[in-house]
């Protein structure tokens, strides 16, 4: 409840100290006034109402660590971008000022050199003018003219010497300014680089992203040049950096098309080189077929078809020639009781070491053992070698069973049986 309370305070009677009559008379009015008095005090009490009910509190949502990290990263990005921008602007300004000072120094030096050359040629000009005067003038006119020439050239010499001294002094002063500016510029760049390095050390991931954005266009240009130079791996790395820096999408697409075309051309060149390197050696047909399959898989069969066909023809002719050489050797092996298995530049001599009749009694199973191998060397000589480890098998490969020597052997066995 609001209430206002009046508080009345009554003070006790103050005692009057005894005094002399004169003092009593003089202070009588004051004593009468101060004998007793009543003070009325009015006091307003507090009107605030208090409640015993618990206050209603609003519960704030606590931020996540990811949100805090994003906020810090955004601030770091702004600071690093600003520092990098300041560093680049400082470098550009220093470069402009350096070029301006060098241009001014060059102009001063050229002016000094020109003045020096003119001063050096002054004596020759004086001699030539005096000779002309002596040629065309005589007497007093000649003497007066020579005096004028002497005076004029002395004045000109003094002017040129003063101009040369001023030009050399200006050039020397400019060189001093350049040397002082080099020290000042280096210190300014060092401080800017240290500040940027400090920020980048505190947030390396953000710094890397900022640098990628800052150098995106440069990386894209470098990737294009790398494609033109045939450095496809470098181009791919630079293109990835340009993409990470959000370079212009259209230009990225152009470089990607260039890279894909260059990679395709390189694959064609590599396949053609590998096909040509095979030549007509044994096994050439099989290896050429493998490379042809690679070309079809890569979609470049049309580009390597002519080279592959020529290589096929050369390899087949070589196979036929080697087969013609192997035929009499295989026939001779048959006479020695072996079953020859002829390959490209290789003859395997097999012999039957066991024979078993099956349950029907109509067919026989044989166990074969590789006795030796006759192979064609690079010098055109056939050489016989024994296998280091015994090789046995229950059945011959299908290519052996398709040969005329196997059919002859089967016929011989049937006749024997």
Each residue's pLDDT tens digit in the chain (417 positions)? 444 333 444 444 444 343 444 444 444 444 444 444 444 444 454 555 555 555 555 556 788 888 888 888 888 888 888 888 898 899 999 999 999 999 999 999 999 999 999 999 999 999 999 999 999 998 999 999 999 999 999 999 999 999 999 999 999 999 999 999 999 999 999 999 999 899 888 888 888 888 888 778 888 888 888 888 888 888 888 888 888 877 788 888 888 888 888 888 888 888 888 888 887 778 888 888 888 888 888 888 888 888 888 888 888 888 888 888 888 988 888 888 888 888 888 888 888 876 555 554 444 557 888 888 888 887 778 888 888 888 888 888 788 888 888 888 888 777 765
Which residues lie below 8 Å from residue 317, measured CB to CB, with a gap of 6+? 280
pLDDT of residue 34: 42
Read off the pTM.
0.47
| Strand-pair category, 382-385 with 339-343 | unpaired
Inter-axis angle of helices 139-202 and 65-120, to 10 degrees? Answer: 170
Convert the pLDDT of each residue in 309-367 to its tens digit: 888 888 888 888 888 888 898 888 888 888 888 888 888 888 887 655 555 444 455 78
The 3-state DSSP class for residue 121 equals coil
Cα separation, 158 vs 161, in Å, equals 5
Provide the Cα torsion 241, 245, 247, 252; round to 10°.
Answer: 30
What pLDDT score was predicted for residue 186?
93
Tens digits of per-residue pLDDT, 247-306? 788 888 888 888 888 888 888 888 888 888 887 778 888 888 888 888 888 888 888 888
Q: 278: how many CB neighbours lie within 10 A of its CB?
A: 18
Find, among 239, 266, 234, the residue nearest to 253 by Cα.
239
**What are the residue boundaries of the structural domains of the chain, listed by start?**
5-43, 80-202, 215-278, 335-416
Q: For 45-59, give the DSSP string.
A: PP------SPPP-PP
Measure the CA–CA gap between 263 and 218, rounded to whole angstroms. Answer: 22
pLDDT for the residue numbered 76 = 87
* DSSP-H helix ranges across 283-403: 284-298, 301-335, 398-401
């Amino acid at each position: 409840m609001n209430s206002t309370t009046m508080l009345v305070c009554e003070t006790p009677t103050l005692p009057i100290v005894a005094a002399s009559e004169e003092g009593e008379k003089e202070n009588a009015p004051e004593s009468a006034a101060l004998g007793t008095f009543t003070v009325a005090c009015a006091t307003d009490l507090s009107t605030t109402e208090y409640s015993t009910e618990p206050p209603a509190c609003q519960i704030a949502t606590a931020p996540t660590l990811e949100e805090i990290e994003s906020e810090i990263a955004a601030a770091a990005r702004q600071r690093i971008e600003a520092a990098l921008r300041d560093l680049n602007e400082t470098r550009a300004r220093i470069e402009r000022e350096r070029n301006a000072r060098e241009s001014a120094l060059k102009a001063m030096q050229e002016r000094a050199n020109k003045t020096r050359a003119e001063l050096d040629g002054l004596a020759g000009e004086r001699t030539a003018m005096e000779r002309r005067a002596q040629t065309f003038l005589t007497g007093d006119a000649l003497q007066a003219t020579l005096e004028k020439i002497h005076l004029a050239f002395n004045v000109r010499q003094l002017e040129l010497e003063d101009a040369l001294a001023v030009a050399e002094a200006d050039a020397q002063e400019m060189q001093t300014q350049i040397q002082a500016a080099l020290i000042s510029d280096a210190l300014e760049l060092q401080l800017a680089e240290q500040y940027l390095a400090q920020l980048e050390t505190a947030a390396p991931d953000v710094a890397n992203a900022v640098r990628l954005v800052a150098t995106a266009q440069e990386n894209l240009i470098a990737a294009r040049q790398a494609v033109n130079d045939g450095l496809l791996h470098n181009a791919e790395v630079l293109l990835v950096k340009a993409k990470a820096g959000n370079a212009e999408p259209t230009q990225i697409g152009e470089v990607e098309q260039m890279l894909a075309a260059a990679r395709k051309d390189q694959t064609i060149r590599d396949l053609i080189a590998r096909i040509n390197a095979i030549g007509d050696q044994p096994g050439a047909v099989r290896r050429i077929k493998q490379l042809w399959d690679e070309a079809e898989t890569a979609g470049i069969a049309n580009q390597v078809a002519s080279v592959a066909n020529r290589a096929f023809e050369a390899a087949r002719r070589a196979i036929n020639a080697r087969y013609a050489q192997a035929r009499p050797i295989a026939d001779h092996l048959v006479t020695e009781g072996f079953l020859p298995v002829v390959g490209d530049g290789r003859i395997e001599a097999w012999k039957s070491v066991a024979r078993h009749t099956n349950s029907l009694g109509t067919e026989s199973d044989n166990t074969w053992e590789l006795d030796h191998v006759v192979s064609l060397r690079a010098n055109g000589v056939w050489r016989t070698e024994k296998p280091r480890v015994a090789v046995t098998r229950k059945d011959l490969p299908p290519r052996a069973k398709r040969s005329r020597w196997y059919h002859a052997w089967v016929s011989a066995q049937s006749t024997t049986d």
